[in-house]
């Protein structure tokens, strides 16, 4: 039973990684707003997306987008 739990957690982590990778891609290479990105990547709302994103990247979606824009300019 603990193997099932650990494989479920691994699957959840893998899905979150894929979703956040898509979020990052949309943030950096499109001008879509956060509501649109949240909807496209399966997050319930913007605040859920921001919390999850910040936990992984230690910065908000807005911060990463601004940082990327500054590098490109």
Q: How distant, in Å, are the alpha carbons of 2, 10, 20, 37, 69 from that of 27?
A: 37, 25, 10, 8, 10
Average pLDDT over every residue of 35-49: 96
pTM (two decimals): 0.85
pLDDT confidence bin for 55, thresholds 50/70/90: very high
What's the pLDDT score for residue 5?
82
Q: Report the share of the chain in percent with pLDDT over 70.
A: 96
By CB neighbour count within 10 A (0-12 exposed, 13-18 middle, 19+ buried), where does 43 fall?
buried
Average pLDDT over every residue of 22-44: 96
Residue 23: half-sphere exposure toward Cβ, Cα within 13 Å? 28
**Which of 7-11, 21-25, 62-66 is least confident?**
7-11
CB atoms inside a 10 Å sphere around CB 25 = 12
């Amino acid at each position: 039973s603990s193997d099932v739990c650990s494989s479920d957690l691994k699957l959840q982590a893998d899905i979150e990684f894929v979703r956040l990778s898509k979020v990052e891609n949309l943030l950096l290479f499109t001008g879509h707003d956060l509501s649109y990105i949240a909807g496209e990547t399966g997050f319930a709302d913007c605040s859920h997306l921001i919390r999850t994103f910040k936990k992984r990247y230690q910065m908000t979606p807005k911060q990463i987008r601004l940082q990327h824009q500054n590098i490109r300019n």
